[in-house]
Amino acid sequence: MVQRGARGGGCSGSHIGGRDAGDRNASESHNDAESQPSSSVRGSNILEQVPSNPSKRKFIEVDSKKEFTDQISVIRAITCILKTMFDGPWTSWKKVDKEHRDAMWEHFKGLYVLPEETDVLARKVWEDCMKKRFPDVMRRAREASLKLAKAANANASLEGDLNLLKDYRPNWIKKEYWEKMINEVWTTSKWKRLSQSGKNNRNKLEDGSVSKHTGGSISIRQHKKRMQAMLKRPLTGVELYARLHTKRST
């Protein structure tokens, strides 16, 4: 049975996902990377205390683009929920069972006020957000593990033998889960092929240079809205591209 987080409470310190958040924070010192602020993580992974009074909670809805309004807040909440309620050897969103998905959804709804008539649509949009966010959370987990391994002088790399990362798990993932994720997925030839293919696609050559998106964790549409509000005029496609990308010589 999945234990739900207290609705109206933040992710920090609540007993959810079958584990107590305080216990996880007492993990070994070499497993603290994910709990510390990092320049690679925008904002805090800890949600502020949410008022139990719905009138004081943040209102969100699904817009015409089938995305939540206030996308920045939603992405931060999703990241926090994934980490705090992580309770299985899940390397992709499709591996998260229905019981845990339902528990995460209930916790998410406790953080916001959503129009009741859009509950079914909101659940679908939320599932899509979770699916899109999950690979990035896993990538950051591997990168955090690699940093710890290198700090301990382990000869590890994300392109090499990931078995070397087993002793350097993020503190929000149980040891048995972390080892199973490495053994059954991240060290397989299939995953390595897909990982390399994804890396090649991200580094795809465009006009003799590598285009690197620097928009961050919010959508391009949200960036466009902000830029137009700042400039007080419509933004051209060229301007948007120039602001969201940098060029590196190859």
- pLDDT tens figures, 187-226: 998 888 877 766 666 566 454 454 444 444 455 666 667 7
Distances (CA, A) of 109 to 55, 115, 179: 14, 11, 32
DSSP3 helix / strand / coil % (the chain, rounded to 5): 50, 10, 40
Q: What is the pLDDT of residue 222?
A: 67
CA gap 48, 154 in Å, rounded: 37
| Domain range summary for the chain, segments of one domain joined by + | 15-200, 206-249
pLDDT band of residue 160 (cuts 50, 70, 90) is: confident
Q: Is pTM, for the whole model, over 0.75?
A: no
Assess whether pLDDT exceeds 60 at residue 121. yes
Assess whether pLDDT exceeds 50 at residue 30. no
CA gap 235, 216 in Å, rounded: 19
Distances (CA, A) of 98 to 1, 14, 88, 126, 135: 11, 21, 12, 14, 19
* Number of residues in the chain: 250
Which residue pairs, CB below 8 angstroms and at least 24 apart, start in 9-16?
Answer: 9/49, 9/50, 9/110, 10/46, 10/47, 10/48, 10/49, 10/50, 11/45, 11/46, 11/47, 11/80, 11/81, 11/83, 11/84, 12/46, 12/47, 12/84, 14/84, 16/84, 16/85, 16/103, 16/107
CA quadruple 66, 68, 70, 73: dihedral sign:
negative
Question: What value, to the nearest 5°, has the Cα angle with vertex 92 and ends 100 and 23?
Answer: 55
DSSP 8-state secondary structure symbol assigned to residue 236: -
Give mean pLDDT, residues 156-168. Answer: 90
